[in-house]
Structures are given as C-alpha cells and as structure tokens.
Amino acid sequence: MKPVGETIVSIRTVFEVPASALDPVRKTMSDRIRIARGLCIVSMTFVHVPPGVGGNVFDRDAGAFDLVYFALSRMVGLSSVSLLSVVSGYFIVSSLARAGMQRLVLSKVKTLVVPLAVWNLLMLALLVLYGLLRGKWQDLPDFTLPGMADALFAFTGWPLDVPLWFLRDLFVCCLFSPLLYVALKRVPMATILLLVAYTLFGEDLYLLQRPQLMLFFALGMWLRLSRAAEPAIDRTARWLVPGLAVMTALYLALRIENVLFGEMNDVLRLTLDTLLRITMAAGFWLLTEAIRRSRFAAGFLRFEPYAFFLFCSHAILFHFAAIPLRRLFGNFGSDLFAITYFALPCLAVAGAVIGLQFINRSRPLLFLFNAGHGVEPLRKGVGREAQAVRSRAG
C-alpha cells in the first residue's frame, strides 16, 4: 500500500499540465483573440439596454426596428458569450501549466471573484443612494443571507449587476478545469457528449447559471490540447458558416411569426440556442481575421484593455442613464427608442475608457475594479498601436 504522500503526488501528476505539451500562441492568434474580446463585449452590451416596458418585447408584430433589436439583442449579443467562453478555456490550459491548481484558484479569486463582489457592491450602494434621493426601493435585493449571496455572488440567482453572472460561472469552470483536462485528454468525445447533456438538462442543478458555458469552455480547452493550428480552426469555422445562415434565418422567421422562446419545450429551446451560439462563435471568429487585416485593427487592439471594465460597468450605467433617456425618447415601441438603444452602448464604451483612465494610477482601485490590470495613457497607447500596425503591414 502506497504512503499517503506518494498517493497525493500521484494524483497531482494526473492533473498536471506539462508546459512542453503546449504550442506557443502565435502573434496573429493573439491579436485575433484581443480583437474578439472587445468585439464580443461591445456586442453583449446591446443585450442589457433596458426596454423600459413590462411584458415581453418580442411578443408583438415585428417591424424593422423589432428585427434589428431581436438580431442584436437575442442573437448576436447573447451568442457573443460563447466565443468568450471558448477563449477562456483555450487560455486556462496554459494557466494550469504555469501556475498549477492552487495558484490558479488564488489568481482567479483575484481576477474573477473580487470584481464580481466589488461591482455588485457598487451597484448596491448606487441603488441605496437612488432610493434615498427618489424614494424608490423596488430594485434592492432581500437583505437576507441567501438574498445577498445572490445579489453579490450570483450564488443561485442573478446578481445585481446582471452580466457578472459570467464571472461567477467562469470561476466555477476554472475550478473544474483540472478534471476537464484529464477527461479531455483521455475520453474527449465522451466528455463533450456529457457536457452537451448537461447543457440540455442541467439548468436546475445551480452549478452554473448558464450550463452552456462549460461546454464552450471545454471546447476551448480541447482546441488547445489538440494543438489545433490557426488555419485548421479557421477551416472548421468556415464549415459552420452555412449553419449560421440557417440558424439566422430560422430565428428571424420565428421572430416574425411571434414564436416565444420562453414557451418552447426546454430541450428544443436549449438545442436551438446552443446551435445558434456555436455557429455564431464561428462567425465572430472569422470576423476577427477580417478586422485584423483591416485598417480598424489598431482601434480594436487599442480598445481591448478596456473591454473587461466595459463588461463590468455597462449594465450599471444603463440602469441609471436609461432613466432620463426614457423621458426624452420613450420606452421600447416608441419611434425614438432607437436613439436610446444605440446611444447607451456608445456611452458605455466612452465611460469605460474615461473611467479606467481615471483610476489608472491607483493600484487598489485597479485591483478592485479591473482585476489589477492597468492601461497606458491614451496618447502613448495610440502611438504604440499605430507603430505596431505599421510594423506588421511592413
């Protein structure tokens, strides 16, 4: 019988990721991932623009703006999370190789759990302040242990800053990453099929708010472990483009016919949603190469360090900025609501750049609100990115 120490070492060896087994990430791949982060997070902001009305905004005859709203919010915006999940899984493998499980968990507490709690605390403080000023308290959480656990950490429900459920789910995926690594190395197809089953039937388990995330996270890990080259990934993405066209046409047809997804059979709804997200992730990935080769590349690369701050802050800005905008341009269904719909994401991008520049010299604030990552001063960053783009073009 082996001593306990040797048993522990043997178990650790099973879960260790040897750095020699990983190929380095190419510069073009790195640039495309940076572009993807900014592109996906800006797209996600359209999901959280408050419509300002009760009921289902999709339960009405579809005019031109209704279709635009549905496409950006229900299709493009929600599906952008899938590529972010794949990217996270792709990089967690190298994090495991460099840091090991213990240091990885500590790192993810700092970069995921701390911002999750701090941004939700900020939202709570602003809601209390708004309640004191206007006497409106309906958006406050229950001040009980379960209520605050959900409000701050999305324990079993949505947090106050709703998009931050992604940080909570991503942290859980990181905790499972050593187990996923072993499973993907030994029985990859069985692992993927098991995660597909969890996607379709695991909503009530409260392990993840969105069970799909672990499937896409695992696909990212599998791409890295299989040493899939960038051209091979691109070919696979191009094979999925016809599927994206079919899913886009199907979803638009369902919207035109006023079919409500909430009233569908759960398995059918989740199957369609997963297929849309897989194909949309492929479309986003191919778009990153087109952007990388375009004159817009420098702007996307320059914006990427602000993407996390935008992700965390935009829903808070929307919640309060939408109040005066609704008075000016009306609720969803008003002829002028489109102004609010497109203005708020633009304001969020500008606010993220200004806000992060404002806290950039404070290491404690960067740690609390931006996972410890600072940014270069705007003028200096512009010069460097322009020079880098000219060098690549040369």
In sequence order, which ranges of the chain are alpha helices (DSSP H)? Answer: 4-15, 27-45, 64-70, 78-108, 114-134, 145-153, 165-186, 188-201, 212-225, 230-256, 266-292, 297-303, 307-329, 337-359, 363-369, 378-393
Pick from 207, 214, 7, 174: nearest CA to 94: 174
Confidence at 394, pLDDT banded by 50, 70, 90: very low
pLDDT by residue (tens digit) across 234-272? 999 999 999 999 999 999 999 999 888 888 889 999 999
Identity (one letter) of the amino acid at 78?
L
Per-residue pLDDT at 390 = 47
pLDDT by residue (tens digit) across 267-287? 999 999 999 999 999 999 999
Give CA–CA dist 24/4, Å, rounded: 36
The pair of structure tokens assigned to 238 is: 């191009």
Per-residue pLDDT at 367 = 96
pLDDT by residue (tens digit) across 123-158? 999 999 999 998 888 889 999 999 999 999 999 889
Give CA–CA dist 318/299, Å, rounded: 24
Give CA–CA dist 103/32, Å, rounded: 27
pTM: 0.90
Kindly list the distances between the CA atom of residue 28 and the CA atoms of 36, 287, 301, in Å, as whole numbers in the listed order.
12, 13, 12
Per-residue pLDDT at 17 = 62
Check residue 136 and report its DSSP letter.
-
**Residues above pLDDT 90, as percent of the chain:** 75
Confidence at 52, pLDDT banded by 50, 70, 90: confident
Q: Is the pLDDT of residue 393 over 50?
A: no
> What are the backbone angles phi and psi of residue 157, rounded to the nearest 5°?
-150, -175
Per-residue pLDDT at 224 = 92
Q: Is the pLDDT of residue 99 over 90?
A: no
Give CA–CA dist 291/216, Å, rounded: 23
Per-residue pLDDT at 55 = 59
Widest pairwise Cα distance in the chain: 76
**Residues above pLDDT 70, as percent of the chain:** 90
Task: Give the three-class secondary structure for 160.
Answer: coil
171 Cβ neighbours under 8 A, 6+ residues apart: 108, 109, 112, 113, 116
The pair of structure tokens assigned to 384 is: 């460097």
101 Cβ neighbours under 8 A, 6+ residues apart: 15, 178
Asked if 288 and 32 count as a contact pair (C-beta separation under 8 A), the reply is yes
Confidence at 14, pLDDT banded by 50, 70, 90: low
